[in-house]
Amino acid sequence: MENLLTHSQLGIYQTLVTDALTETEAERVLPRIWERDYTVWRPDPAEITNRLGWLDLPAEMAAETSRLTALRDTLLAEGYRNVLVLGMGGSSLAPEIFGQLFAGAEPGLQLEVLDSTSPAAVRDYAERFELEKTLYIVATKSGGTAETLSFFKYFYTRGVEELGETEAGKHFIAITDPGSKLES
């Protein structure tokens, strides 16, 4: 770890970063996270144990690559051009990073994230993204995030008004925990 630190350009923060990394290593933080040791964060497992699924996600999603590629190809063939993730907090952070990371990749869809309840932001996406060409991903771990569900209701209502109920439904998918209200 020391070699990594000697190449950094942290200036006055070098000592703070070095100390924090030394403490992290001494307390075995990384191995403990992989062991799903909730005490890394809190003494009570209630909030933490249900939030560590991200550790297995890369391996689990690797098996889904062909299905996701087929979905992308189908969406492109059907005229979709945009993906708008409707989410807040952790449900919107990774998609935002991936949207920036893979921007311009071909063949692909333009991915953006709506994570602001500002009426101007919602209106901006409603005006820029044509319903007929947009897939909306409703992302909420709990299935009950009020802001995310409000986004969903707003865009789904617009979809029903413009496309009809059957067609509107084809433009929405959900990412949520099994058993959540949104899943049902």
- How far apart, in Å, are the Cα atoms of 12 and each of 34, 59, 107? 32, 39, 44
| pLDDT for residue 141 | 84
Query: Does any domain span residue 183?
Result: no
Number of domains in the chain: 2
Which pair of tokens denotes residue 129?
Answer: 């993204």
In a shared domain, residues 79 and 137: yes
Over the stretch 47-76, which tens digit does the pLDDT of each residue have?
A: 787 788 889 888 888 888 899 889 999 999
Element of type H or E holding 19: helix 14-26
| pLDDT for residue 8 | 60
Tell me what the mean pLDDT of segment 152-166 comes to. Answer: 96
| pLDDT for residue 7 | 54
In a shared domain, residues 105 and 155: yes
Q: What is the pTM of this model?
A: 0.76
Closest Cα partner for 68 from 34, 27, 111?
A: 111
Residue 34 has pLDDT above 90, yes or no: yes
Over the stretch 83-122, which tens digit does the pLDDT of each residue have?
A: 999 999 878 877 887 777 777 777 788 899 999 999 999 9
Measure CA 35 to chain center: 24
Query: Does any domain span residue 147?
Result: yes
In sign, the C-alpha dihedral spanning 102, 105, 107, 113 is positive
